[in-house]
Amino acid sequence: MKYVDEYRDAGLVRGLADAIARTVTQPWTIMEICGGQTHAIVKFGLDDLLPPAITLVHGPGCPVCVTSADLIDTAVDLALQHRVILCSFGDMLRVPGNGIDLLTAKARGGDIRIVYSPLDAVALAREHPGREVVFFAVGFETTAPANAMAVLRAEREGVRNFSLLTSHVLVPPAMRAILGAPDNRVQGFLAAGHVCTIMGVQEYGPIARDHHAPIIITGFEPVDILEGILLCVKQLESGRAEVENAYSRAVRTEGNVHARGIVERVFVVADRDWRGLGVIPASGLAVRPEYAAYDALRRFPCAACAARAASECISGEIMRGVKKPHHCPAFGTRCTPEHPLGAPMVSSEGACAAYHRYRARAA
Ligand code: SF4
């Protein structure tokens, strides 16, 4: 398949792994931000090709994994107490809240529907004018334009019974939080290429400079990832900390200016509570006051917002690169894809799900 096969070429992969081995002279810890990259690394065994001096740790770039348990509770509350039609991507249904998950809420009579686009939810609202329809808008910078477009479409068509429950998160503030943590061990980043197709690369320069950490904009296939690691190792070995775009076939320096404009029209930057990481200032998107009519949190009084006791899930330490999934005592025993205790075991981009799916060994 064009644009896929050439980036899985075994000869290129081996050549890049050899180049990394020739370049490295001391231990380095590199974090791939995106859960899609984590799955590619584990699926293709790329970490097994690297010299032992390179440690890859897995970042918070799985939107399902970082959606707070309180927001899951709020979604459950909207479905069961406010009796809205709650629309969500399928990944979210089995993510544990503080109480029940959305699948259980559906079994208890909640009208919870899996959709494939926020526009499906707008269409549902149009078809059911007597019902309130809420779309659970989860995601990073990549999904924000489509959700903003849904609000603008609803406004243009006069659909008044549609709103968003937003859990939008932003990558750069999370990178700063990880690098600034007292127990940080990350020395360089593979940044998520698809986020940069929207946002461009300008935000990363100050992060690389302030924290002296190289940031390589990286794609998702084996050749992409190993090339990103090679560029990162070269910088680390030479004492440089710069931003490099290794995904230029998709990412322009300025990103997608039109998409960014739509996002800025509907959303405003706000503090966000990341599951496992806590509240990170200015790390999320909320619906602008001008569009309050499309903001589920403003339309419906929230009865399920109090934080409750944390579970035994160590996803926060995993997403900061301090631990790996097999370090969790519940991994593969009390926590499995069939009976998940934490979101990273549920999501198709979760690190725990990747290890469980592709790694029989627990080391
Ligand atoms: S194995 Fe389960 S409980 Fe442990 S960190 Fe992963 S999701 Fe959380």
- The atom number, within ligand 1, closest to the CA of 344 reads 7
Residue 104 within a domain:
yes
Residue 305 within a domain:
no
pLDDT digits (tens, 9 = 90+) for 205-230: 999 999 999 999 999 999 999 999 99
Four-residue CA torsion sign, 256, 151, 97, 107: negative
CA of 88 to the centre of ligand 1 (A): 23
pLDDT at 191: 97
pLDDT digits (tens, 9 = 90+) for 26-60: 999 999 999 999 999 999 999 999 999 999 999 99
Asked if residue 286 and residue 160 are part of one domain, the reply reads yes
CA of 35 to the centre of ligand 1 (A): 15
Asked if residue 72 and residue 51 are part of one domain, the reply reads no
Asked if residue 39 and residue 20 are part of one domain, the reply reads yes
Domain CATH number, residue 50: 3.40.50.11750
Average confidence (pLDDT) over 101-118: 97
> Is residue 363 over pLDDT 80?
no
pLDDT digits (tens, 9 = 90+) for 295-349: 999 998 765 544 343 467 898 889 889 999 999 988 998 888 888 888 898 877 8
Please give the single-letter amino acid code of residue 73.
D
Q: Is 314 in the pocket of ligand 1 (CB under 6 A)?
A: yes
Asked if residue 54 and residue 90 are part of one domain, the reply reads no
Asked if residue 157 and residue 50 are part of one domain, the reply reads no
Residue 306 within a domain:
no
Mean pLDDT score of the chain: 93
pTM score, whole prediction? 0.88
Residue 304 within a domain:
no
Which run of H or of E encompasses 31? strand 28-34
Alpha helices in the chain (DSSP H): 10-23, 35-43, 46-49, 63-66, 69-80, 102-107, 118-127, 144-157, 171-180, 193-199, 204-211, 222-238, 257-266, 296-299, 315-319, 351-358
Q: Is 331 in the pocket of ligand 1 (CB under 6 A)?
A: yes
Counting every residue written for the chain, the total comes to: 363
pLDDT at 310: 43
Residue 309 within a domain:
no
The owner of tokens 């309180």 is: 70
CA of 47 to the centre of ligand 1 (A): 21
Residue 80 within a domain:
yes
Residue 363 within a domain:
no
Residue 308 within a domain:
no
Asked if residue 275 and residue 230 are part of one domain, the reply reads no
Closest CA to 215 of 189, 195, 253, 246: 189
Residue-range definition of the domain harbouring residue 218: 5-62+181-245
